[in-house]
Amino acid sequence: MKQVILVTGSSRGIGAATALMASRRGYAVCINYHRDAASAEKLRAQIAAEGGQAIAVQADVSVEADVLRLFAAVDAQLGPLTALVNNVGVLEKQGRLVDMSLERLQRVFNTNILSYFLCSREAVKRMSTAMGGQGGGIVNLSSGAVKHGAGNVYLDYAASKGAIDVMTLGLSKEVGAEGIRVNCVRPGIIHTDIHASGGDPDRVNKLASTVPMQRGGQPEEIAETILWLLGPQSSYVSGAIIDAGGAR
C-alpha cells in the first residue's frame, strides 16, 4: 500500500525534519506551510532531487476552508492519506496571563488546538475503515511545557498543548476499531527557530543545563519518534503520550 503523509507546519523545524525523513522511508509527502513558501519549496525540491515524491501546499490550518483545500490537494496529487502529523504550532512573546490580549489567545488556541481538530477530522474521514478507508496513523505534537505549565512565560502555549494530550487520548478511543492509531509526542527543548518568535532565540542553550542529558534535542530526534509511532514497529501502540525531552 502506498504510504502518503501530510505534515502540517513542515517548512521548518521538527515538521521539515519529519517530512524529509518520511520521504527517505518511502512516503509520498505533503509539505504544508502558512507563509514561508521559499522554505517549503526548497524542501520539496530536495525531496524530489533525492527521488522522492512531494508537494508543497499553502494553507492556514486553523481556517476550515484552507484545511478542506489542503486535503483535497493531497487526494488529487498524492492519493489516499495514510498518515497525518499535526505539527503546526505557534507561541507569542514571553509574558504573564494578565498581559495577554484576546487576539493573542485566539491566535494561539486556533493554531495549536483548532487546527489539530480540523485536520484530524479530515484525516479520519479518509483513513477510517468504517468510511471506506484503509486505516492509518495520526501523531500529534504536544510539548513538555504541559508538565510545568510555563507560568510567567508561555502559559497559553502550554495550556493549548495540554488540550492536545486530552484530544489524543479521546480520539484514539473513538477510532481505534476503525484501523487508525492516534498517538502524541511531547518534545522538550529542541533546537528550532520557534524560540525566536517568543523573543528568546537562545532559550535552548540557556536551559540545557536543566535537562538531565545536559543538552537540547535536535529536530531529527523528534522526527524519529514520530515515524516510529506511524510505523509497523508500534502496531499495538495507540493513545500513547511519549515524552522526548531528555528526561526533563
pLDDT in tens, 141-179: 999 999 999 999 999 999 999 999 999 999 999 999 999
Burial class (CB in 10 A: 0-12, 13-18, 19+), 51: exposed
Over the chain, what is the mean pLDDT?
96
Is the distance from CB of 39 to CB of 56 less than 8 angstroms?
A: no
Nearest to 171 by CA among 108, 223, 240: 240
**Measuring CA to CA, which residue among 106, 133, 107 is closest to residue 122?**
133
pLDDT at 248 over 90: no
Mean pLDDT for the stretch of residues 52-75:
98
Sheet holding 54-58, edge to edge: 54-58, 28-33, 4-7, 83-86, 136-141, 180-187, 241-244
| DSSP state at residue 110 | I
Reported confidence tier of residue 195, pLDDT bands at 50, 70, 90: low
The CATH code of domain 4-244 reads 3.40.50.720
Q: Greater confidence, 35 or 196?
A: 35
Residue 1 pLDDT grade (very low, low, confident, very high; cuts 50, 70, 90)? confident
Count the neighbouring beta carbons within 10 Å of the beta carbon of residue 99: 8
Q: Going along 154-225, which residue ranges are E strands?
A: 180-187
Residue among 51, 54, 34, 35 nearest 43 (CA):
54
Q: What is the pLDDT of residue 197?
A: 66
46 Cβ contact partners less than 8 Å away, ≥ 6 residues apart: 20
Cα 78 → chain centroid: 20
pLDDT at 9: 98
| pTM, full prediction | 0.96
Q: What is the pLDDT of residues 38-49, one digit of tens each?
A: 999 999 999 999
- Would the pLDDT of 194 be above 70? yes
Residue 199 above 80 pLDDT? no
pLDDT at 196 over 80: no
| 157: annotated active-site residue | yes
pLDDT above 80: residue 235: yes
Task: Taking residues 77-84, report their average pLDDT.
Answer: 98
End-to-end alpha carbon distance in the chain: 38
